[in-house]
Amino acid sequence: MKFFDLLLFLFLACQTGQGQSNYRVIGSAHQIEASISTDFFIRSIEDRRDFRANLGIVNRGARKDLKRPLIPENGFFDSLLEQMNSWIQPESNAEPVVAKLKELYLWESQGINTGSGFIRLEMAFSGAVGQQEEAVTIVLSGEELNVADGHAPRLEAAFFRCLQAYNDRRKTAVSVGNTPQNTVEQKIGRAGIMAASNFLDLWKGELFPISGNLRRKGISYRYQLKRGGEEPAQSYYALMKEGGLFIWAGHYTGAGKYYTRVLEQGRYLFLIDQISLNRESKEQAEIDQFSNTKVGVIIDMETGVPQIVDDELMKQLMAPYPSLQEKYLFKDLLKFPFQLTRVQNVIAEINRLEQDN
């Protein structure tokens, strides 16, 4: 579709840094051969998502620690419409139905030997004018979501189950509307620590209370969540405590099992950590003599994509702001991380300017 052709062009044209110049494209798997007997067919699919920057963040690289945005192939919705209709066997005089995509997000957490993740899909179906919409939410996770099997089959399974659920509701005449979501402000008073399962939940402000204690772990900026003196088996994308934000290190390039304190919040999250860069990245060639170096990490709150701070990235981030270009100059950031204090000042100023616009 023309919209997604334009979206793909803008996405590629606006990338900054090595972390965003690589991406994964997802399309159809065509592995489901089952069919559903229905009294409807899908007339059209409408994209009603609030978050459209990508379909999620997935891993790449030999160590599975390089984070890449997942984007749809050209003609994604045209292909999806054809595929969904291929799964159904409509009766005569079947009702045409409009499928409205409200949310679609894939999340992946994968190490060298393990892989897991989840898909959240929400669609609303509407038939004749005046009929109430039927909202269906599908969440796939756990063992059935082994990321080693690829992303497309898991995506296909989510849409197929969504179609099954809607068909079952029509047959039983059960109407289920959207479940109201509590805001962060409504929940924050119930617990000292709030958590987001993935970037999209953080982006939407849908955090939930958890139990435990968040304490410093070793070097500056690193924190550990413990319950009863033990680390919980589940890790979260982000934690929030008393206004402070902490990101699980396994969700940005270079990866450890701890939370890192975010030093600046706004359009860009900025944090500092000591990591070993993957040899597949361009940064590794520049600092190959270092096995553990201090770097800055930026997470764009419009895309969720993490990036290692280097000279080129800072140049691109400051490009729209002549006053910052005149005031700051960075050279060999990866070799000389003492400059990261100045980087933090720049990110804080960019966040302020972005907020004022």
**Model confidence pLDDT, tens digit, residues 294-347:** 999 999 999 999 999 999 999 999 999 999 999 999 999 999 999 999 999 999
> Quick one: pLDDT at residue 103?
96
> Quick one: pLDDT at residue 73?
92
pTM for this entry: 0.81
What value does the mean pLDDT take over residues 254-267?
88
If one counts every other C-beta atom within 10 angstroms of the C-beta of residue 228, the result is 8
The pLDDT of residue 5 is above 50: no
> Quick one: pLDDT at residue 126?
92
Picking from 244-248, 275-279, 281-285, 305-309, which range would have the lowest pLDDT averaged per residue?
Answer: 281-285
Per-residue pLDDT of 190-232, as tens digits, reads: 448 999 988 999 999 999 999 999 999 877 789 999 988 888 8
> Quick one: pLDDT at residue 217?
87
Task: Name the pLDDT band for 64 (thresholds 50, 70, 90).
Answer: low
- Over the chain, what is the mean pLDDT? 81
What value does the mean pLDDT take over residues 162-167?
95
> Quick one: pLDDT at residue 282?
52
- Give the strand pairing for 244-248 and 238-241: antiparallel
Highest mean pLDDT among 74-78, 197-201, 233-237, 268-272: 268-272
What value does the mean pLDDT take over residues 53-65?
77
> Quick one: pLDDT at residue 46?
95
Task: Name the pLDDT band for 183 (thresholds 50, 70, 90).
Answer: very low
The pLDDT of residue 186 is above 90: no
> Quick one: pLDDT at residue 148?
58
Percent pLDDT > 90 in the chain is 54
> Quick one: pLDDT at residue 349?
97
SS (H, E, C) the chain: CHHHHHHHHHHHHCCCHHHHHCCEEECCCCCCCCCEEEEEEEEEEEECCCCCCCCEEEEECCCCCEEEEEEECCCHHHHHHHHHHHCEEEEEEEEEEEEEEEEEEEEEEECCCCEEEEEEEEEEEECCCCCCCEEEEEEEEHHHHCHHHCHHHHHHHHHHHHHHHHHHHHHHCCCCCCCCCCCHHHHHHHCCEEEECCHHHHHHCCCEEECCEEEECCCCCEEEEEECCECCCCCCCEEEECCEEEEEHHHCCCCCCCEEECCECCCEEEEEEEECCCCCCHHHHHCCCCCCEEEEEEEECCCCCEEECCHHHHHHHHCCCHHHHHHCCCCCCCCCHHHHHHHHHHHHHHHHHHHHC
The pLDDT of residue 174 is above 60: no
The pLDDT of residue 266 is above 90: yes
Task: Name the pLDDT band for 82 (thresholds 50, 70, 90).
Answer: very high
> Quick one: pLDDT at residue 291?
55
